[in-house]
Structure 1
């Protein structure tokens, strides 16, 4: 039906009438989108079935990627592109008077993630399928995802994300594969034939129903599976409040990251994590047993990867299945478990390493707690033999200590591979954050620098640039992104560089019209588009950026001789609902925007835009339009970043610290092709360990800093009495944990340098081209090949 546009048109019209029960003339855009989506999914089905059959018969090793987030974005155009049928569909629809781009707008972003963690998982799924590797995803089908962000009077307001309101055309419900997941209750222990047997009794069970989504490889016959679990009531428990049980059950797959400031939220998050791993492992083992008699060689056929600490309960859950259901002894079960599970760490922030109070963990997961307790006892015994008498060291490394279960410690002990996500991050894990574990398990630690799928972030998001690249070097780069390096031959080619400039201007015009449509604000496409989009967190230092904007505004107002190139500062970020400090920064950005954008004296030079409800589909318009990429986290705090790579691949120049993957980006492109400022990771860690930083000194000795900090509380902004006092307190009274004031001067200077460079267009375009040429290394295809070869030991089928 997709062989040519005439066949497609005929099939489309027939399908629409069958599905919608109305003529084409009466159909809505949503009818047309649903019709096309269903046609594409049916087109995929044959290869999806064939892929699964191939995996079953080949009996090669497969990997299952467990992640609490999968930030997929819209899939219609992405699937058309990967299937190689976008031109036929686009032309056929055009004949019918339908704009494919308009249909794409109908699709909601799947609300299954928050930030880089979830987007990385989505990029990895794309690369696994495109490289014909047997790899599947396991996640949760959140009914409302994170939240839909509205900005009301400058404040973030959270609304339920209604991405499933009209169903989801890409998913297939597999009720026949539903499993039960138990909570609460108690453990019955009895001896039989000299062996202890454990049974979880009086449990409250939840039914986990899988919804499968096809993950289509780029122009291959491989279609892998993303399995998302939906929480539904099992048989209603006797003597229980049925309505409360139904509500408690459905909450498990309702929202991503429920607020865990109170016990109720903690219980729900822990429930979600066990729900994900228990359902997924049961499903994997059911499938495995159809091909293999027993689980003694499970680890030789299956690799399970846990993306950060959220799915760490896979370790005790696999132990439980092997011990209680398969009747194995501890040593064999432990050998299989440790050799099945690999773990990626995504943070150097100790507060982000999950810990659960025993008082919550033990009653909710009684059998799992017993197993974790036993793992801890055996590990501590091992430590005691290695470090006799060193109680403090043993306590600091224990999995259960001070009435808390430490998930990162469980991951380190119960897996065969632990990787960081950038060279600097892995180095910090080995030398500082996890040094005591590195001393015991040096062979487990390795680095896998993150990557992004260049097919979505360049080929799909920036077709103008992709087309220019293919004209210049052919299209082999789509399969082998390292070939982008061939673009360097055009560094002195003024005609090619001018075409590169035109591409950027067209992308800026597209974003400018979107900004006008959404905010009513008119931005100058000749201005520098300086863009800062990512999760809102203090360490990512959106605060440093907006204080610099305030400084520029002050200069423009007070110094008539001050000259600057017009600049449009664009922010996009969501703050976690319970993260009040981050929400204050959103309010500050919007307050500054109101003041700056309405000032007749400065608005030709300076604009500030906050993009509401930033998500994957808006990111696809933002990255191609950026001139400057803000990657200004406090050095040593950002594990890797992937936004930095997307900007680089789209020709933006980085203003950044030597943090995360910025370090490797600098190595690949050369230090004179980005703008580096601020403290090094070593200096930050030295300050943290030995002291010596006093933020008040910077406040008192730098009048620029004093002015912008004072403006937060001195009435400079009207109608915000006391609003920004927590920000001032964090900078002055709490000694500025993320060194915003320490790096302020360095940041102002590097921004001046970036602006001067921009005004030399030839130099800027050469630097931009050099960044695109060097970005191939940061494709997730390279990352996934490294995981496949070094960690999972899986092969292309």
Structure 2
């Protein structure tokens, strides 16, 4: 976009007068932020309209995801429009601090973890590559939650990102649809967010649905002065789009989750079908020629029976013909190996919430059951374990595989595990359906935006082609022995560490040493991700430093950031444990200059943009075979952090690309774990035989650490010692501790360490979401580049 300073100033002044009745010189930072956002929206309006028009003529991909973790939009949009520096300079001339303006924007509360951030990166790549694609999800009014710490415990408060509306959303009431449940109906009101590609005029769309009641007020009940019940229907309807992943530990929570899933896929499919019919009429056999729908994990899999309902019940298509259309239209991404994350629904609940969808699901089940009987007449065990409905449960992953033409894993190791173990039956039946699509991240947000210092230096060394083709980074390898370059890479890292130090001082009152090693683990809090292994090692290290104050040790800061699901008691206990250890370590005057423990409150995209560029060590320590891919590992790598990890998920490919000698790989491999399980694993063996481990584990129950009477530490102790340590925390402890000591020694050699950093940056090219999306486009969706004129 060309930047005309006078035109921008005029538009800004107009917006401020229209919306707030203030001049530019008198406007508050919030008012300027809103006016700036609206000005951007006005400049892109024509291109957005033209993009939609062009895409309607060709095949499009529709990405169904329960979450899109977008982060702030202003800075990213200005970068992708190519006017970020001009805007900052323009505001500076007006004596306006751009950073203050950017800080007025709340993170869009539409996601939680890697699943949602991957979806957001994919949206950026689709637009940048001029590919006809659109996202669909829910417009969560209160997101997942804002996290606060009280006495070391996680406290959840609602995210209120929409309290003043959202400048980046456009309401589309003309596209409102009705979603019918068993005994009620709700209005689905769409809001469109523009997805601006880098260096292109194409503007893609993320459509988000907000739930509203058919009638907001029962006036008769209100006039009887029963005010609570007069708005009951409105409240129940709006609950559907209120919170991401509501606590589902009760039946009511489960019903709400199912309503959410059905609400968003039904609204989205009605929308897609309406637009298809505008162009192609009733030629429904052409649907797979013009529509590809990607199911991002099992949350949106109810879309398969819903499309069958629309085709059969609404449009009168024969069942057999409708099923052929459905299979060719859908594809499914599996994001997990964890059995508990492969969604299953109790049929009684399903019947109550979506009775017609249950009937159709049952029809699909019976159809497949008959196919299995013909395929495996002498193997009833196989027939039974592959059935979609087993006992009283509907297996959504089985429904997804049966109803899709492609099924993909998200890292090479993950896909192989799916094919050879978790989904072995299915792979043997449908080998042509299975393929790998290693995840990726957008370098525009995770390097260009979050690390301008490193971005500028890379461009100085090799040009700026890497911004749209990340494999260009390979050219940096020519500088691996150039000490001037290595020193500069080191200096940039120190600068980013100082920025994080300043942020933590301002927001949490924590002071840390920027010259210490920043060892970082930021991700969802979950037992398989093994934050517990990390904090055990830190506590053991603290004890060693107390016993031997003069030991040779490079000062280290251990940084954590994570939210635990509201109903996940053990995960919340681990957060408490980290903060308990932090209190002991940080409060010890003998240790404070050597060791520090920091838990960052309310981890989110905006904070992540400060953390990834500042990290020295990327903790990717999940139990081998449990992490599907990970994308945080890629963001760290791109910013020059070294991976300390197991050979799990995409860590395998990171080590392969940059060389295992440039990472710190530890722990059992998948095959080692399989072997140990066969032999029988007894956690008491490492507990009794690894120096210092018994003392760490016993601290959970001997009073050394305090859970303030909650009993959660005793439960964690029981999970390890009495219930089998299923994530092998104790078994991997010694190898993990050994790698930590290696890191501590190696960091002293500045040039050698900087060379590892540069080697990682130079070999991060594979992990661009542009590469991933091109693979989806060519091998799954069959969509082509469509540039607007």
Deviation at 1:2, TM superposition (A): 6.0
Q: C-alpha distance in 2, partners of 1:328/1:667?
A: 50
Contact kept in structure 1, 2:12 and 2:24, CA below 8 Å: no
Q: C-alpha distance in 1, partners of 2:22/2:405?
A: 57
Q: Does 1:10 align with 2:10?
A: yes
Q: Does 1:710 align with 2:687?
A: no
Q: Does 1:209 align with 2:189?
A: yes
Q: What's 1:353 paired with? A: 342
Q: Does 1:109 align with 2:107?
A: yes
Contact kept in structure 1, 2:707 and 2:713, CA below 8 Å: no
Give CA-to-partner distance per residue, 1:714-758, whole Å, 9 cap, x none: 121357344411111111011111000000000000111112211
Q: C-alpha distance in 1, partners of 2:528/2:87?
A: 45
Q: What's 1:438 paired with? A: 427
**Bigger mean CA deviation after superposition, 630-639 or 497-506:** 497-506
Give CA-to-partner distance per residue, 1:167-191, whole Å, 9 cap, x none: 111000011110000111xxxxxxx
Q: C-alpha distance in 1, partners of 2:27/2:307?
A: 50
Residue number among 414, 420, 434 corresponding to 2:403 in the alignment: 414
Deviation at 1:535, TM superposition (A): 0.2
Q: What's 1:266 paired with? A: 254
Q: C-alpha distance in 1, partners of 2:160/2:426?
A: 43
Q: Does 1:739 align with 2:739?
A: no
TM alignment of 1:311-326, pairs within 5 A: 311-326=300-315
Q: C-alpha distance in 1, partners of 2:642/2:583?
A: 27
Residue number among 45, 50, 60 corresponding to 1:62 in the alignment: 60
Deviation at 1:87, TM superposition (A): 2.1
Give CA-to-partner distance per residue, 1:364-405, whole Å, 9 cap, x none: 111111111011001011111111143322221111111011
Deviation at 1:596, TM superposition (A): 0.3
Q: Does 1:233 align with 2:213?
A: yes
TM alignment of 1:692-771, pairs within 5 A: 692-718=680-706, 720-721=708-709, 722-771=711-760
Q: What's 1:176 paired with? A: 174
Question: How high is the TM-score relative to the length of structure 1?
Answer: 0.96
Find the residue that maps to 1:608 and give its secondary structure: strand
Q: What's 1:795 paired with? A: 784
Find the residue that maps to 2:688 and give its secondary structure: helix
Deviation at 1:73, TM superposition (A): 0.1
Contact kept in structure 2, 1:631 and 1:655, CA below 8 Å: yes
Q: C-alpha distance in 1, partners of 2:433/2:2?
A: 48
TM alignment of 1:8-407, pairs within 5 A: 8-56=8-56, 59-184=57-182, 203-235=183-215, 242-294=230-282, 295-407=284-396
Deviation at 1:166, TM superposition (A): 1.4
* Aligned-residue RMSD, C-alpha: 1.4
Q: C-alpha distance in 2, partners of 1:377/1:546?
A: 50
TM alignment of 1:777-792, pairs within 5 A: 777-792=766-781
Structure 1 residues 344 and 718, CA gap change in structure 2 (3 angstroms): closer
Find the residue that maps to 2:785 and give its secondary structure: coil
Contact kept in structure 2, 1:8 and 1:92, CA below 8 Å: no
Residue number among 532, 553, 560 corresponding to 1:564 in the alignment: 553
Q: C-alpha distance in 1, partners of 2:510/2:773?
A: 41
Question: How high is the TM-score relative to the length of structure 2?
Answer: 0.97
Q: What's 1:682 paired with? A: 671
Q: C-alpha distance in 1, partners of 2:180/2:706?
A: 54
Find the residue that maps to 2:736 and give its secondary structure: helix
Residue number among 515, 523, 537 corresponding to 1:526 in the alignment: 515
Q: C-alpha distance in 1, partners of 2:286/2:108?
A: 37
Give CA-to-partner distance per residue, 1:583-639, whole Å, 9 cap, x none: 000000000001100100101100000000000000000000000000000000000
**Bigger mean CA deviation after superposition, 149-158 or 692-701:** 692-701
**Bigger mean CA deviation after superposition, 20-29 or 449-458:** 20-29
Deviation at 1:237, TM superposition (A): 11
Give CA-to-partner distance per residue, 1:57-78, whole Å, 9 cap, x none: xx22100000000000000010
- Structure 1 gap segments, 5+ residues each: 185-202
Q: C-alpha distance in 2, partners of 1:430/1:339?
A: 21
Q: C-alpha distance in 2, partners of 1:79/1:691?
A: 55
Q: C-alpha distance in 1, partners of 2:508/2:544?
A: 26
Q: C-alpha distance in 1, partners of 2:477/2:708?
A: 51
Deviation at 1:244, TM superposition (A): 2.6
Find the residue that maps to 1:446 and give its secondary structure: strand
Find the residue that maps to 2:231 and give its secondary structure: helix
Q: C-alpha distance in 1, partners of 2:405/2:758?
A: 41
Deviation at 1:16, TM superposition (A): 1.5
Contact kept in structure 2, 1:82 and 1:216, CA below 8 Å: yes
Contact kept in structure 2, 1:696 and 1:735, CA below 8 Å: no
Give CA-to-partner distance per residue, 1:235-287, whole Å, 9 cap, x none: 47999965332211110000000111110000000000000100000001111
**Bigger mean CA deviation after superposition, 556-565 or 330-339:** 556-565
Structure 1 residues 328 and 679, CA gap change in structure 2 (3 angstroms): same
Aligned residues: 776
Q: Does 1:554 align with 2:552?
A: no
Residue number among 503, 508, 514 corresponding to 2:503 in the alignment: 514
Residue number among 446, 470, 491 corresponding to 1:481 in the alignment: 470
Residue number among 390, 404, 413 corresponding to 1:424 in the alignment: 413
Contact kept in structure 2, 1:450 and 1:640, CA below 8 Å: yes
Q: C-alpha distance in 2, partners of 1:209/1:491?
A: 54
Contact kept in structure 1, 2:577 and 2:707, CA below 8 Å: no
